[in-house]
A and B are shown apart, each in its own frame.
Chain A
């Protein structure tokens, strides 16, 4: 258990140290906010902590750190005996309330939380929709090319060539084809981007069955279909998931960059470009932070699916001989 704690604890500690250093350096070196906003300024777009002071102010002393947090507007202090009218809008945006000593603490939404969450959800749907289309198409073509060697030999050079093309360069064209506000234009970009890694990986897995395995199946007079189901597909699973890990990251990139070339106002890529154009870099950073988080969560979900799909795989071996 302590080993597990260490495995999670060490990276978290590093993350905290990096954020503190970031905050400290930006403040200490007086770096302009439009070059690099402080982490607290970025976070204050998403959430804020409001403390309503009762008489006791000794709980959190006015030390330097508290002053910094206040300056970044991540923490807002309201004096004791504040008018209830003033609290009403805060209560509406409330996420959580708790008491800390004699103080009531509210965690409320930052000004940009709702627009960013909405935009993220919109973009996530595009990314997942495109990912699904691309994965289905990639696997389908892989199955066909693995079955008929001739098609593989004819198609694979093109697939490999296409895999090394910057497909995102086609984004403006696809926006034009399907309509800039149509989510399908972004799904199409994502689908094309993920198609090639999915197909190439899956084909490799389907055809790299050891020759002895195939001889074994032939000695049982197994049909091509049985060989596919019992030998080729299980053999391809690790390759499929490797492709999917690459594809998951590509999907988020494809959707957001696709939106950089235009899209509805409620899309994450559009939000980021607009905020940046208006010099509101902190809220652009906040949106990027959410995009990164979605990418990481997607990757973790793929890892989980991989684990569930192939509990036998070597990468999970714990008690190796």
Chain B
């Protein structure tokens, strides 16, 4: 498995170790994600899917086990700027215009002025927000803000995009539109995406693989390949296979719940 972009080997994560409030958030996680895969992590609240995402992105240290990204330690991958992060809240800086928000990582990475402006323009075109370059975040709708966040995450061409329920706070209509846009971006940029979601439909529609997790302690219970044809579009949701896979994921989640009881 040398071509794996993300490789987790027996990863455990315990919060508050050695205290009464000790919680095992992740147990024995083994996961390998290949180049240009779109992997969704799904599970009930508290199953550790966000924690797993942060362990991959080196925003939280693993308590034990190995996390390798692009053949390096996760920490090194972070220092090499291999990750783009998108959170549930757009987390834009109020004091920066849309264009300046997209430029934030480029400034930190010391891009030249021309390169910076060129990339910003490309990214805003990609998320179809070119007309809003000089707007402030509060002048945009929630969906538009999230598109800015995606443009910002992709601006420096990271090899992996880590997304933590990016569309969780949006209405159904906006979410479905952004799902299509995200797939389009994924095809164009050839990024590997790890995507945390609550929504079964979203996970099946977007992913090449759905990782089903269960809570207390957080662990992987099923790894379901999504063999729906690419490229996916509006008609994918009407595909019979789509319903079968949705059912399969739902059953997997339900099986976890029964086991817990």
Chain A contacts to B: CB under 8 angstroms: 210, 212-213, 215-222, 226, 230-231, 234, 237, 310, 312-314, 317, 319-321
- Whether A237 pairs with B91 at a CB distance below 8 angstroms is no
Point out the residues of chain B lying under 8 angstroms from A213, CB to CB: 91, 93
- Whether B59 pairs with A218 at a CB distance below 8 angstroms is yes
A229 CB to nearest chain B CB (Å): 10
Complex: A220 Cα to B108 Cα, angstroms: 8
- Which listed residue (B78, B79, B91, B138) contacts A210, Cβ 8 A? B91
- Whether A312 pairs with B136 at a CB distance below 8 angstroms is yes
| Residue B171, interface by CB 8 Å | no
| Residue B239, interface by CB 8 Å | no
- Whether B105 pairs with A220 at a CB distance below 8 angstroms is yes
| Residue B186, interface by CB 8 Å | no
Point out the residues of chain A lying under 8 angstroms from B79, CB to CB: 221
- Which listed residue (A217, A221, A222, A320) contacts B138, Cβ 8 A? A320
> What are the interface flags for B81-94 relative to A under an 8 Å C-beta threshold, 1 for contact and 0 otherwise?
10111010101011
- Which listed residue (B87, B94, B107, B109) contacts A212, Cβ 8 A? B87
Point out the residues of chain B lying under 8 angstroms from A217, CB to CB: 108
Q: Please provide the chain B residues from 35 to 63 with a CB less than 8 Å away from any CB of chain A in the complex.
A: 54, 57, 59
- Whether A219 pairs with B85 at a CB distance below 8 angstroms is yes
Complex: A220 Cα to B87 Cα, angstroms: 14
B70 CB to nearest chain A CB (Å): 14
4 cross-chain pairs, A with B, having the tightest CB-CB distances, nearest first: A219-B85, A212-B91, A234-B95, A221-B79
Complex: A217 Cα to B89 Cα, angstroms: 15
Point out the residues of chain B lying under 8 angstroms from A319, CB to CB: 139
| Known A212-B87, A212-B91, A313-B95; 17 more pairs at CB < 8 Å | A213-B91, A215-B87, A216-B85, A216-B91, A219-B83, A220-B104, A221-B80, A221-B108, A222-B108, A226-B108, A230-B93, A230-B107, A231-B93, A237-B95, A312-B136, A313-B94, A321-B139
| Residue B141, interface by CB 8 Å | yes
Most buried by B among A212, A218, A220: A220
Chain B: CB-nearest residue to A231: B93
- Whether A312 pairs with B94 at a CB distance below 8 angstroms is yes
Chain A: CB-nearest residue to B137: A312
- Whether A216 pairs with B78 at a CB distance below 8 angstroms is no
Point out the residues of chain B lying under 8 angstroms from A321, CB to CB: 138-139, 141
- Whether A312 pairs with B91 at a CB distance below 8 angstroms is no
Complex: A312 Cα to B96 Cα, angstroms: 8
Point out the residues of chain B lying under 8 angstroms from A314, CB to CB: 94, 138
